[in-house]
Amino acid sequence: MCAVQVKLELGHRAQVRKKPTVEGFTHDWMVFVRGPEHSNIQHFVEKVVFHLHESFPRPKRAWTEWRWLRSGC
C-alpha cells in the first residue's frame, strides 16, 4: 500500500469596499486553497467546492483555479 500526505493551506480574507458596487456589495472577499509556501497542488486537487450559507445566491460553488477574488457574493 502506498500513502501520500499533502499539506494544504485554507483561508479567506475580506475587505470593506470604499464604495458599494452597483449591486450593493460592500466587501471584496477572497478564499484560497493552496500548498504551503504557494507550492503547486494541481497534481493532487482537481477542484474545490465551497458550501456557503443557504441565504447566498448559488450556495454551492466549485472552482478549478486556486485563488479567487470576488465582490460581494
Q: What domains can be seen in the chain, in order of their start residue? A: 9-71 (2.60.40.1970)
Interior/surface letters 11-40, b for 16+ CB within 10 angstroms, e for the rest: eeeeeeeeeeeeeeeeeeeebbbbbeeeee
User: pLDDT digit string (tens) for 7-63?
Assistant: 998 888 999 999 999 988 899 888 888 888 878 888 888 888 989 889 888 899 888
- Residue 71: pLDDT over 80: no
Strand 48-51 and strand 60-63: the pairing is antiparallel
Quickly tell me which residue has 485563488 as its cell: 67
Model pLDDT, residue 54: 93
